Structure 1
Amino acid sequence: MAGQDPGEAAVRQALARYAAAWTSGNLAAIVTCYHDDFTLHYFGQSALSGTHVGKPAALKTLAAFSQRTRRKLMGVTEILAGDRLGAILAREMLMQGEQPIEVDRLLLYRVADGLLIECWVYDQDQRLIDAIIGG
């Protein structure tokens, strides 16, 4: 049932599976980590800011972010897990024009049924992210 707390071990397992897929660049495996009801929350004032409900909408937004920023994962710094929520602290290189910029990003996840069902993205420098993405 999607409303029950999965427990710390299940949250950690879901995030570890996602982090492994992300660090290996395995897009197919990344997509399987998302629940069909996945919701993505992007903050800020950019064209991608807002709440993106459903796996297709969230994936479309993630693809647009990747295209606009030419992002490259530098590494997963930490995985944190609780009974209901977990977090990944990641370092990414984004491109602002031809200028590479490294940023830390905190991705807070809610897990249900062993899958990522909701994500809130907290960026080290939201104004920078907004400037790169544009309005």
Structure 2
Amino acid sequence: MSTENIAIIGSYFDAVAKGDLETVGRLLADDLVWHQPGNGTLSGTHTGKQAVFALLGSFMERSAGTFRIDHVGTLMANGDLVSASIHFAAESGAKFMAMNGVDLLRVADGQIAEVWLFSEDQAAEDAFWG
């Protein structure tokens, strides 16, 4: 099962990197729960695929389309949980953000059912997103 879950998460990160929203949508469960860390305006728990797509749209809007995950490290699984060390970045006018993070994703029935995100500098991320 861990090998299958790693493959699902690998496909997810590949699709995100390519901007393939159709594949991303297929990989996300309809009742997905997304835990966005911090105390910013985008922080909190977002429930449902549509709410998560709205959140991702806000990332793109607030970063003038520059938000990106520019490195995904080794994917590691423990049962239905898969972790990934990542590096992400975004720009908006004179503002710039780039940092490491860890994404922890839970897979159920072949789809991503829950996501927890961890940022290297949460205060800087909150300041960037507003």
TM-score when normalising by structure 1: 0.86
CA-to-partner distance for each residue in 1:63-89, whole Å, 9 max, x for gaps?
112222331231212211121200122
Greater than 4 Å deviation, 4+ residue runs: none
Which residue does the alignment assign to 1:82?
78
Which residue does the alignment assign to 2:36?
42
Structure 2 regions of 5+ residues with no counterpart?
none
CA-to-partner distance for each residue in 1:64-121, whole Å, 9 max, x for gaps?
1222233123121221112120012221221253243321121110100111010011
Structure 1 regions of 5+ residues with no counterpart?
1-6
**SS of 1:129's equivalent?**
helix
**SS of 2:30's equivalent?**
strand
2:48 pairs with 1:54: yes
CA-to-partner distance for each residue in 1:25-50, whole Å, 9 max, x for gaps?
32221221101111110111101111
Cα RMSD for the two superposed structures: 1.5
Which residue does the alignment assign to 2:57?
63
Confirm or deny: 8 A CA contact 1:23 1:75 kept in the other structure.
no
Which residue does the alignment assign to 1:107?
103
The percentage of aligned residue pairs carrying the same residue is 28
Q: CA deviation at 1:130?
A: 0.5
Question: Matched residues in 2 for 1:78 and 1:94: separation?
Answer: 22
TM-score when normalising by structure 2: 0.89
**SS of 2:74's equivalent?**
strand
Which residue does the alignment assign to 2:129?
133
Confirm or deny: 8 A CA contact 1:23 1:76 kept in the other structure.
no
How many residues matched? Answer: 128
